[in-house]
Amino acid sequence: MTLRLGDEAPNFDQDTSIGRINFHDWAGDSWVVLYSHPADFTPVCTTELGRTARLSEDFARRNVKVIALSVDPVDSHARWIEDINDTQQCEVDFPIIADEDRSVSELYDMLHPNAAATVTVRSVFFIDPAKKIRATITYPPSTGRNFDEILRVIDSLQLTDGYKVATPVDWKDGDDVVIVPSITDEAELKQRFPKGYNAVRPYLRLTPQPNK
């Protein structure tokens, strides 16, 4: 199954490290970051889950729930979490899906035979409160994810949902943003962007981040 931006995130019932969940019910009205790991007790994954745990307040501040996935069973997850907490100096308190039957991996197209025949690649799905897939990132098993980038994508999605702006190259929270080209009325521009804007070109107008 190939998922595209704007598609509804498929629902599922599956065992996790915190018990059995219905994914949509568990997500509730939050944003969700769903990301997969090739297997338990693997070095790169251990560092990623530790980083996720240490960023728990940053995710909570953005109304984001995080859920991980690995193709190993719940009892393996429990032992692995002990290792993660010990080696990464953290407390993993978010669920890890036990996708032993690979049903969720197949539902979300996380198995890429040309990259790894039996384990998932490092997929990331950004899912909004309406359960729509808003962004995806896919890494090979050998490359650990950049969680600063994951937070940056969330910040961009949430900002651009609320204002008629887009975020330019290398943007980070607090930087100037781009006014969308569809706004041409000067009165509307003044109303929406009271801090003013710099028209580098008619189609390239920079303005201070509206919610700062």
- The domain segmentation of the chain, as residue ranges, is 13-144, 163-207
Max Cα separation, the chain?
A: 61
**The CATH number of domain 13-144 is 3.40.440.10:** no
- Per-residue pLDDT, averaged over 13-28, amounts to 98
Out of 9, 27, 33, 45, which one is annotated catalytic? Answer: 45
CATH topology of domain 163-207: Antioxidant, Horf6; Chain A, domain 2 (3.30.1020)
Instruction: Give me the amino acid identity at 31.
Output: W
Report the distance separating Cα 46 and Cα 40, nearest Å.
8
Summarised one tens digit per residue, pLDDT across range 42-75 is 999 999 999 999 999 999 999 999 999 999 999 9
- Tokens 């409160």 sit at which residue? 129
- Per-residue pLDDT, averaged over 35-40, amounts to 89
Summarised one tens digit per residue, pLDDT across range 110-162 is 876 654 555 556 899 999 999 999 999 988 888 899 999 999 999 999 999 99
Return the pLDDT at 107: 93
Q: Is this model's pTM higher than 0.85 or not?
A: yes
Q: Do domains 13-144 and 163-207 have the same CATH topology?
A: no
Tokens of 211: 């919610």
Helix (H) or strand (E) holding 57: helix 56-61
Angle at 24 between CA 34 and CA 120, to 5 degrees: 30
Residue 171: phi, psi to the nearest 5? -60, 145
Tokens of 74: 């719940």
> Is position 45 annotated as part of the catalytic site?
yes
Report the distance separating Cα 139 and Cα 179, nearest Å.
31
- Tokens 């962004």 sit at which residue? 135
